[in-house]
Amino acid sequence: MNITEFQALIKPVTDLISNSAVEAALTEELNRLFPPGGETFDAIEKACHQAVADGWMCAEGQEGGPRWGRIIEPNQQTGGLSVDVVRLKDWVGSKHRHPKGEVCMILPLTPEALFDGMPRGWCVFGPATEHNPTVSNGEALILYMLPDGQIEFADR
């Protein structure tokens, strides 16, 4: 799978997000329409694992440490969403703010791994929220989408 194929795979998700308010209620909608264990969620998860193994996803960072990378810049096909993926193990990341919100897909590599205290599935941070992204109890991939690619790091 390449980036173009991956973008096509996630299109049902980006279509929903780009036509919805990025707020807490979207978490429930994503988990209802694209639940963990469902066809779409599992296909995206499998594609992420393969893309990491192929070296084009999570290509930045050092082996054994945090890995990351923006794989899709905001564009018309994604409804203006950027798509990034990070791989973190028992990590507290840099504090950042989501000017227009953030939608996260939590993909544990260690079954018990949590992202900001949440298990495998979806979570949504509304506009103007901020946090230190935290993976506990092991390792996880986090696919996150940002409206217009907007993110503001507190330490920059």
C-beta of residue 105 within 8 angstroms of C-beta of residue 44: yes
Per the listing, tokens 């217009």 go with: 148
- Write down the architecture of domain 3-153 according to CATH: Sandwich (2.60)
Domain ranges for the chain: 3-153
What integer pLDDT is reported at residue 155 of this predicted model?
63
What integer pLDDT is reported at residue 153 of this predicted model?
85
Per-10-residue mean pLDDT, the chain, length 156: 96 97 95 98 98 95 89 96 96 91 98 97 96 95 96 76
What integer pLDDT is reported at residue 94 of this predicted model?
86
What integer pLDDT is reported at residue 65 of this predicted model?
85
What integer pLDDT is reported at residue 45 of this predicted model?
98
- Which residues lie below 8 Å from residue 101, measured CB to CB, with a gap of 6+? 22, 23, 124, 125, 126, 127, 129, 146, 147
